[in-house]
Amino acid sequence: MSRVLPLLRRLLPLALVLGVVGMTVPDSAVRPTEISLVKLRGAEGVDVGDDVIWILAVGSDARPGEDMTRSRGDAIQLVGLNTRTGAASAIGIPRDSWVPIAGHGSNRVNAALYFGGPQLFGRTVGNLVGVQPDYVMVTRFPFFENMVNDIGGIYVDNPRPFADQYLKPKAFPKGHIKLNGYSAMAFSRIRKSLPGGDFDRSANQQRVLRGIQARIATRSDQPGFIERGVMSVMRNMDTDLAPSELFQIAHAVAQVDPRKIRSCVVQGSFGTIGGASIIFPNVAQARRYGDAARSDATLGPC
Amino acid sequence: MTRTHRPRLAAASLAALVALSLGACSGEEESPEPDAGPSLSDPSAAPTLEVEPVVRAGEVVGRLTKGDRTRIVEAVSGVAVRYLDAAFLAGDYPRQGGFQSALAAFAPGTAKVARGDLGLLTNAGIAPRVDEVTPAQLGVTVDVLAVREHASAATAHVKLVFKTAGDVAQRVQVQGRLMMTKADGRWQVFAYHLSKGAR
């Protein structure tokens, strides 16, 4: 958990330079459900250690005027942050995963958001992976685009060129590429032209998350950067979480060590139910990911 | 050899520095925000230092009255200065211990982590071999996040430079950030990102 500040290294070229970071995110009260960033556990919550927080990040395809907390999530990532070690893990859930939804039989996983809002969605994904999220964050894609633009764009390592006739006619090239807000949205949503379909899309979403984290971490020492970011969230998202809690979460993200980020996508098999294409997720694999990362946000090999 | 604090900086003068640094910030209407953070105008709570801290208001995101800005910057910088003083400057050198008390304003979980970094977050690693500590520079710049005209969070950007004499004679620089929110009405460090270098 040591970091070296380049500036200080320059200032003290002969120095032994050691840096340390640390933080904690304390519990607070349970929040109402009709918001876009929801805390699912309170001070009396079970199994929330001092060090690890789990956030279910959801990109909503809700149209303007639609309630995004009752829409269908297009991008679904369960993200764990270890505030003590700086480790982070992302477990990607393909949108079309067919799973049990409490009180609603079985359906695509993203239907849980439509049926029961962030609370039910969090529980549904939590039951699949075996890790219950502490927070569920739902964002609309336009806000996501604005956020990426606000931090100056992001860089991703793209393993293959791909395009989409509607979202991105000119292909994303292979390699280390920069994305602005719109491009990051397209990079996260394109599915049909990817060989692995929903699985590859989920992996691309994780590349975008890495890019966002790296940008935030790089700029977090700039005066007022985190403060402005939290204010932007407060203005653009419906949330009644305390600003101080958002501030703490933002710092939890900023203090992740990029060398300690791991990400996996829950695999599965394609199928059809009622004429609709779905994915039967590999539940054993999902649980294995959850077991590996639950306590320390450290995933092993996928 | 024992280092003796000389009361170069009275609490009131730090408060005055803060007020001066904020003088041009705002012409907004003043309505005080209750702030139970440790006040540097309380001499019993304020350290006396051999170097005058330079305290500045950094970015204030959101609206705050001029008076609130002053009070919050004062309270937040006070927490930072007290930590830096207790961790690196205060005490009788060669110093044998007592460094954990420097973490008094850290949130419990953060303090637990910090105790594992005590050698970096304080002089614990070198104190028995140091005869004297002489501060050279102490600066704190405070960014504030204010929502609905109330301060919700703050970042203290700190820089401390001091020299040690004795078996360990070096120039030490501590630099980084202390991130704070309020708990029980007081500013508390929930995260830190600090670097320490010596030559």
* Structural domains in chain A, sorted by start: 20-293 (3.40.630.190)
In this structure, which amino acid lies at residue A87?
A: A
CA nearest to A193, candidates A166, A211, A175: A166
Judged by CB atoms closer than 8 Å, whether chains meet at A24 and B110 is answered as yes
- What confidence category does residue A20 fall into, taking pLDDT thresholds of 50, 70 and 90? low
Mutate to test the interface with A, among B145, B148, B157, B189 (most CBs of A within 10 A): B145
Contacts of A83 in chain B (CB under 8 A): 191
Specify the pLDDT at position B75. 97
Specify the pLDDT at position A45. 20
Judged by CB atoms closer than 8 Å, whether chains meet at A21 and B191 is answered as yes
Asked whether B19 and B70 are in contact (CB, 8 A), the reply is yes
Mean pLDDT value across residues A80-84? 89
A224 is written with which tokens? 């007022």
Q: Tens digits of per-residue pLDDT, A57-69?
A: 998 878 777 888 8
- The ipTM, to two decimals, is 0.72
Mean residue pLDDT across chain A: 82
% residues pLDDT > 90 (chain B): 59
Residue B155 pLDDT > 90: yes
Does residue B145 sit at the A interface (CB-CB below 8 Å)? Answer: yes
Does residue A228 sit at the B interface (CB-CB below 8 Å)? Answer: yes
Q: Which residue of B has its CA nearest to A13?
A: B199
Residue A29 pLDDT > 80: no
A153 is written with which tokens? 């764009």
Judged by CB atoms closer than 8 Å, whether chains meet at A15 and B107 is answered as no
3-state secondary structure of B48: coil
Specify the pLDDT at position A31. 28
Judged by CB atoms closer than 8 Å, whether chains meet at A25 and B190 is answered as yes
Long-range contacts of B34-37 (CB under 8 A, 24+ apart): B34/B185, B35/B68, B35/B71, B35/B72, B35/B75, B35/B151, B35/B185, B36/B185, B36/B186, B37/B72, B37/B75, B37/B76, B37/B78, B37/B79, B37/B182, B37/B185, B37/B186, B37/B187
Asked whether B193 and A221 are in contact (CB, 8 A), the reply is yes
Residue labelled with tokens 């500045």: B56
Q: What are phi and psi of B61, to 5 degrees?
A: -95, 120
Of A16, A231, A251, the CB nearest to B197: A16
Contacts of B182 in chain A (CB under 8 A): 244
| CA geometry: angle A98, A104, A105, nearest 5 deg | 55
Residue B49 pLDDT > 50: yes
Does residue B114 sit at the A interface (CB-CB below 8 Å)? Answer: yes
Q: Tens digits of per-residue pLDDT, B178-190?
A: 999 998 899 999 9
Higher pLDDT, A242 or A95: A95
Does residue A240 sit at the B interface (CB-CB below 8 Å)? Answer: no
Does residue B185 sit at the A interface (CB-CB below 8 Å)? Answer: no
Does residue B7 sit at the A interface (CB-CB below 8 Å)? Answer: no
As a whole number of angstroms, the distance between CA A74 and CA A205 comes to 10
